[in-house]
């Protein structure tokens, strides 16, 4: 469904992504894990058209989207739920949800209901300014907002960042639910443990290159991963 071939991205004078290739198949949950500066966010930003790759190709459903602008990429069904949530703090919760469907002109009632079903707290806070929500609620809002464009593939950049473990668990459960409803998920995380448990397929990024890949379970059991990312000694 989504294929990244030999992607290279320069970022602030350095080559942040040094030729990576990976594939996301329809219906899967794929995760990219790695430490700070490994190039994870830059990869997602390149896919969603926020930064232009210096080399390589990004193919979505058979067509090359490498040079397309971010607005059109959203239109094709790829959405990015950005790092740090980036909700619009001075709009209401409902407006934030609606703006996720900016490119759609059809009736949103069902989709809004769906968001409320997944995240009941957002219905309660509907008319509150989004900036007044707690971190976890903001993350839920960010996920709901991304869903409103009816994405085929949803990319999430560190949804667990700065959240309490219980909230992270909730959010991951909902990601699973979203995936079961047919949305492909590409997730990047530093919380390798949670991400690998959820993922069908995982790639490990180290300083701009893919160091390892396998199914989520394989990597969870891999002694090297255990030591480097899960904090367990053999």
Residue 86 engages other proteins in binding (rule: CB under 8 A): yes
Selected range binding other proteins among 32-40, 80-88, 175-183, 193-201, rule: CB under 8 A: 80-88
Closest CA to 20 of 53, 63, 69: 53
Closer residue to other proteins, CB minimum distance, 69 or 120:
69
Residue 50 engages other proteins in binding (rule: CB under 8 A): yes
Q: How far is CA 123 from CA 95, 164, 187, in A?
A: 12, 22, 26
Closest CA to 95 of 133, 52, 141, 61: 141
Selected range binding other proteins among 28-36, 45-53, 191-199, 206-214, rule: CB under 8 A: 45-53
Closest CA to 41 of 170, 187, 215, 163: 187
Q: How far is CA 64 from CA 1, 21, 67, 76, 212, in A?
A: 12, 14, 8, 11, 26
Q: Which residue has the tokens 């701009």?
A: 208
Residue 80 engages other proteins in binding (rule: CB under 8 A): yes
Which residue in the set 42, 149, 160, 184 belongs to the binding site for other proteins (CB under 8 A)?
149
Q: How far is the CB of 140 from other proteins (least distance, A)?
A: 16
Residues near other proteins (CB under 8 A): 48-50, 69-71, 74-75, 79-80, 82, 84-91, 95, 98-100, 102-103, 131, 145, 149
């Amino acid at each position: 469904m989504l294929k990244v071939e030999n992607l290279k991205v320069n970022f602030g004078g350095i080559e942040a992504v040094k030729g990576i290739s990976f594939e996301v198949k329809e219906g899967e949950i794929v995760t990219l894990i790695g430490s700070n500066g490994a190039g994870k966010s830059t990869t997602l930003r390149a896919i969603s058209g926020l930064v232009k790759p210096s080399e390589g190709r990004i193919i979505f459903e058979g067509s090359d989207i490498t040079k397309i602008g971010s607005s059109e990429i959203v239109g094709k069904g790829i959405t990015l739920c950005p790092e740090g949530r980036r909700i619009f703090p001075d709009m209401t919760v409902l407006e934030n949800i609606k703006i996720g469907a900016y490119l759609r002109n059809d009736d949103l009632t069902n989709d809004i209901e769906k968001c409320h079903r997944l995240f009941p707290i957002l219905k309660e806070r509907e008319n509150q300014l989004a900036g007044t929500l707690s971190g976890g609620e903001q993350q839920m809002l960010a996920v709901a907002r991304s869903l409103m464009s009816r994405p085929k593939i949803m990319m999430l950049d560190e949804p667990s960042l700065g959240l309490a473990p219980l909230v992270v668990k909730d959010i991951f459960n909902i990601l699973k639910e979203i995936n079961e409803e047919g949305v492909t998920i590409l997730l990047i995380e530093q919380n390798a443990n949670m991400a690998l448990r959820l993922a069908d397929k995982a790639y490990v990024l180290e300083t701009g290159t893919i160091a390892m890949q396998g199914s989520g379970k394989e990597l969870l059991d891999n002694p090297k991963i255990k030591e480097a990312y899960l904090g367990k000694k053999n």
